[in-house]
Amino acid sequence: MLVHLLKSKIHRAQVTGGSLDYEGSLTIAEDLMEAAGLHPYEKILCSNMANGARFETYVIKGPRGSGQIVLNGAAAHCGKAGDRLTIMSFTEVDAAQAADWHPTVIVLGENNRIVARK
């Protein structure tokens, strides 16, 4: 049996911009993607701490070190610059592995810099 578990999470990511004209996705700075174990085009679930919106989209790579978190396409309607997001990805693991599973979690602070890893 497979169990659907949290694979990775970026907590308190601050939205830096939005682009309605883009076809969809969430831009995340490449270094933050790597720290969280996210892959380009990976499906993610986002929750906006400011307005309660929850939405699914996929990740695209932003410039390394830029701190970019950009809502693109329809997702741009789910928040605005300054809002804080929780960005989550999930995986399926064998039930035997689930007991010892630990997701990769990073917490962001000012300018979307990593302040904690869990």
Confidence class for position 97, pLDDT limits 50, 70, 90: very high
pLDDT for res 58: 97
The per-residue pLDDT of the chain, averaged, comes to 97
Q: What is the phi/psi pair of residue 63, to 5°?
A: -60, 135
Write the CATH number of the domain with boundaries 2-117.
Answer: 2.40.40.20
In angstroms, rounded to a whole number, what is the distance separating the alpha carbons of residues 2 and 5?
9
Domain spans in the chain, listed from the N-terminal domain onward = 2-117
Assess whether pLDDT exceeds 90 at residue 24.
Answer: no
pLDDT for res 22: 87
Average pLDDT on 98-104 reads: 96
Tens-digit pLDDT profile for residues 28-83 = 999 999 999 999 999 999 999 999 999 999 999 999 999 999 999 999 999 999 99
Confidence class for position 23, pLDDT limits 50, 70, 90: confident
In angstroms, rounded to a whole number, what is the distance separating the alpha carbons of residues 22 and 38?
21
Confidence class for position 87, pLDDT limits 50, 70, 90: very high
Active site residues: 25, 58
Among candidate residues 13, 30, 6, 22, the one with its CA nearest the CA of residue 79: 13
Yes or no: say if 90 and 79 are a contact pair by the CB < 8 Å rule: no
